Each structure stands twice: as structure tokens, then as C-alpha cells.
Structure 1
Amino acid sequence: MATQPTTVRGRLFTQTGSKPLIGGSSFDAYFLFAILWFESGTFLDAWAHNNIPRLETFFTPWHAVLYSGLIAAATMIFAPIFINHRRGATWREAIPRGYELTVLGIGLMFIVGVGDMIWHVLFGVEQNIDALFSPTHLAGMVCIGLAFAGPLRAIYQRSKAPSGFGEGLLLTLAVASLLVFIVNVSQNASLYVNFWPTTTPVGENEGQLLAVLSFVFQAMLFTGLTLYVLRRFPLPIGYATIVLTLIAIPLSTMRGHYLMIPISLIAGILVDVAYFYLKPSPQRATQFRLYAVVAAATLYAVYMLTLVFTMTVVWTVHMTIGSVVVVGILGWLLSYLVLPGQQPEESIKTHIDQ
């Protein structure tokens, strides 16, 4: 008969309590290190695609960092599974809780990696935006997203909110690692690598519209994931400051826009201050929605103000201010998806009956 693991102080144990299983917050920390290793490779690879012309080989130093990080992540997840199985857990129980899709993602990533090498040999190495739409790269992005969401899924599934600085930092880094990856692969639609208000002149309606849509896309990534976490747990101290700054540091190196680091730092501090005073929670819906507006719009407000005072903004005042307002409105609307308003009892009953 299979033993059922239980959780004690962040670690997993079998029914007898004599054979501890690998898992819990300590495992999250180790796996986050493997994620950092892999993401370092993805940023090096992205930098190379952006800055080195005629890059025509799969065998590069940054690919070595990238795939060695993948091997480290695979080792970090598969070795504990085998150890846990030897300690009496079934194969399903042996997977650390929350990492089931991580196993799938990493396993498929090795297949995608071979396919990526074949694709490069057949069609050459992608340059600039082509790298984002290569079929093997897109498949890899899905696999990596499944894998890297593991720490956040694990924390989210636990019965108690993270307590203390260490567990709070783990939650923050789990969110940051996932967002950093998504923002990296969507960097062509990112304010971190494009200062559109200084380069897209008035009259280029399509260019300005695409710029504002990129603001919306990136703001919804941060705000959506933040509200998702906030619906489950209180946010850790310094959450927004750490997440936004960790996104800005590597992304700013793509095209040398290092001004985004202090912009993100200041915006993060302001969002954290707003969180402290609003104290949003699912039980405080009004404050929850106000915080959604602040979380969405603050980075873009600081961004626009900084560009106005340090560079030449070619957008009209209507576009400059209005783009920030649009982002804030959409943050408010997003809060209703994460925390719907109370429904009439009759409509709830009708929905259940159907």
C-alpha cells in the first residue's frame, strides 16, 4: 500500500515520518537557482541575436550556458524524484508538489532542443524578431513556461501563506523568474528595450498604436500575475520593487537602455507604498481594484515623466498622458477578472443547475 506524504515545516514526509521526501520551500530555493542559471543563458542568447550580425551557428557560448542550465534544472527535478521513489513514495508521490507540469515541460524541452538544432541547420539562425516566431523557439517557450512556473505553483498550493522574510522572498523570486522569462521572449513589445515616445513621431498612427499596445501587454503581465498572487496570499515586503527591478536589469542590456533600472526601482517603491496604505485583499474589493490601477499604471507614469525630463518626447501631450490612463483603466478592468463582483444568488443557482 502506497504511503501518503504529509507536509511538516515545509518538508514532505511519508506516513511513518521516518523517510523524509525531498520537497517544500528548500526545494523551491534550489530549483530557483537552476532557473536563474537557465535564464542567464536565455538573456545571453537574446543579446547575441540582437547585437551580433550574421550569427550562423548553433554552437555558441550562450547556447552552452542555456542548455547547461536546462540540464541543471532537469537534474534538480528528476534526481529528487528518483530519491523520493527509493524512499517509498510512488512515482506520482515522488514528484514534489506543484512540479508535475515542470517534469512535463523539461522533458519536452530536450526534444524541442534537438528540433531547434535541426531547424538552425536547415534554415539558418534567426535574427532579431524572427527569433521570437521560430516554431521551435515558440515550442520551447511553452515548455519553459510550464517548467519555470513550478515554484509559484508549489507555493500557491500550500495551505499557509509564506511567513517570514525567507518564504516571502521565495514567493517574490518565483513570480520574478516567470515574468523575467516572459518579458524576455516578448522584448520587441517592451518599454525596457524601446523608448517609443522619443522615436515614434506624431502622424505615425500605426507605430504609436503598437507602442501603446505594447504598454498594455507588458502591464497586464505584471498586474495579472500580481493580482493572481494577491488573491491567494498577502504580498511580501518589497514585492513590486524587487520584481520590477529584476526585470529591468537584464532587459536594459539588450539595447543599452540602462535608464530603465532607476525607473523600475522608483516605480516599484511607489507600488509597494500604495500596497502598504491600501492593504488590498479579496475581502477589501475596493482597495483591491485601486491597487490594480496603481500596479498597472505606475511604471508607465514614471517612465513617461522620466523621458519628458531627460529626453525629447515627440508624442503629443494627449498620447503621453492618455497611454498611461489607458493602462490604468485596463488594470482596473483586469481586477474584475481576478476578483469578480458579487453575483445575485439566483444567477449563481441558475448557472449551477445548467
Structure 2
Amino acid sequence: MAPGKNEPVRVETIVVPDPGPGEAVVKVQACGVCHTDLHYKQGGINDDFPFLLGHEAAGVVESVGPDVTDVAPGDFVILNWRAVCGKCRACRRGRPWYCFDTHNATQKMTLADGTELSAALGIGAFAEKTLVAAGQCTKVDPSVSPAVAGLLGCGVMAGIGAALNTGEVGRGDTVAVIGCGGVGDAAVVGSRLAGAARIIAVDIDDRKLETARAMGATHTVNSRDTDPVAAVRELTGGFGADVVIEAVGRPETYHQAFYARDLAGTVVLVGVPTPEMKLELPLLDVFGRGGALKSSWYGDCLPSRDFPMLVDLHQQGRIDLGAFVTETIGLDDVEKAFARMHEGDVLRSVVVL
């Protein structure tokens, strides 16, 4: 639980209500420590403290409320933070991954004294149990490791989806990925899965670049020492990449992505900016380069379609989701995991309960 802005997280007793209509209680088995959790702790998303952090989670449905039919007690599920409504204008047009009315549980979890908790991304899974909307539960093959499956709940899905769904990387394409943390490395994996011919990983940390190469990058660029736009152009015959995926969420790296793409190429923003950030680009350059500038919401995924598919690919050995798990930890170690995240020496710490 994060009690206030930039305050250390701590373990508290929480009260989880019985599920009401459309809700489910899930016994959490594993939950990744995501940078978004750190954003919440730092007040970078909103100031609705205290927060119950954790959202990259997998576990077993313990109980469901009235009228819930899609999941049942005993189902092994990955939790997602975009439970589609099926009724909004996006859903009615057959584009549920853009759902404009995603929802969470109606009831609130609380501290023992009755203080209401704000669940991170409507999940709050750094806990033995959590209350979610039933639509946030996606059934997958129960033989997969919970520590691996949970990562599809946010960062890994966001990166793979940025390549496959938003960027629509195709066979033979050239791809540049700027920022090689968990999301960026997942974009590398997604680009490789799509059949990209050349995948250029860009970061300022050689350790992260080594990991990106192990994930499938064909070339690496340390942008601390080298102009990344020039480097990407040199590696693509002077043209720039067909798809550039920006996994940092900063104006400087977005500029790099914009100018590192080919004419009529695609830029995908999947890195999460903070509210005060501003972007300035010459409008003539936006017009003159054509192509597409896209933002990727959760990798534009549809959990019911994409989570089972990616688990199956992992089980077949076609992608290695386990490579994203650097360490497994206990609930008491989340604050240390945030510190390690700052130091850049973990891809994902995963809380195992």
C-alpha cells in the first residue's frame, strides 16, 4: 500500500468485500512490479491516495457475484485493466480494444479502519486477494507459471501489442525500439514474432541493450554515445525504420522516433508520459513525412483474444515470457524492487504469494 506521495510502501491488512453483481474475488498468486506502480507512488497519475498497488497479476478466482457467467471459482486467470463494456460506440463498431467505457469493481477495498483504497489500474494485486470486475479476469491455460502469466497483464502485453497490433509490424519490416525496459523488450519480442527483418534496439544502458539483443534485437545503439536518428538511418540504407516504437514516454525520445522513421513510416508511442510533458514538432515536417503517428493503449490488445494466444505461444516455446522475470520476491520487498528499478538492473521483479 502506498500511503502518500513518495512515501515508502508498506504492508497493511486490507478488507476485501464479498463480490457484488458483476464482480469477482481473485486469490493472487503472482504480481509483477511495474513502472506504472512507481508512477502511482510518486503521484504521477493522480493524488487519490492511499493506493493499493500491483496490477500485473495472475491467480485463481475464489468467488463471483450475481450474474457472472464468464468465469467461475477455480478458474486460473490473468487480470486486465481494460474490461470491455460491449456496448459503447467502439465496441458496437467491432473495435473492442478501443472500448471507451472500460470498467472496474464497483465496491472499494479498505484498510481495517475503513479507509477506502484506490486500486492501481482498478486491480490492486499486491495482496493475497483482490476484488475486480469479472470482465477483468481472462481465463488461460492453468499449466503456465503464474509469475510468467501475470506479466501479460500490463507491460509485456503493452510492448508485444505495440508491435503486433498498433504498429502492425509485417514480415521483412525494419523496426527501431527506443527504450529497452520491460515494455521495449516486449516490443522487440513482438517484432521478431511478426517476422521483422531488422530490429534495432536503442537505449543509454549497455546492460539493457544486451538484454534486448538476447530478446531478438539484431542491432543495438547506445544513444548516450551515438546520435540514434543517424544510427537508425545508417542501419536502414539511409531511409529510416518502417516502424519506430517509443517505449520511454519523453518528448526527447519521441523526437528521435519521429525522425528515425522512413517516409510514410509509423511511430508508435507506448511509453507513458507525465502530465506536464509537452511535444513540439514543425507542422510542415508532420505533413511532409506522411505515415502514421499512433498511441498504443495497452498494446491495443483484446485480453480475451490475446492473453490465451500469447500463453499458448509461450507453452509452444515460440516466445519466452519467462525471460522477463529477473527475480521473484515477497510482498515485503516491493520497496526494494522500486529501488532496483531505478538502478536499471532488473527487467521485472515479480511478487509471488
TM-score range, shorter chain: under 0.3
Between the two structures, name the one with larger relative contact order (CA 8 Å, sep ≥ 6). 2
Q: Which structure is larger by alpha-carbon Rg, 1 or 2?
A: 1
Q: TM-score, normalised by structure 1?
A: 0.24
More strand by share: 2
More helix by share: 1
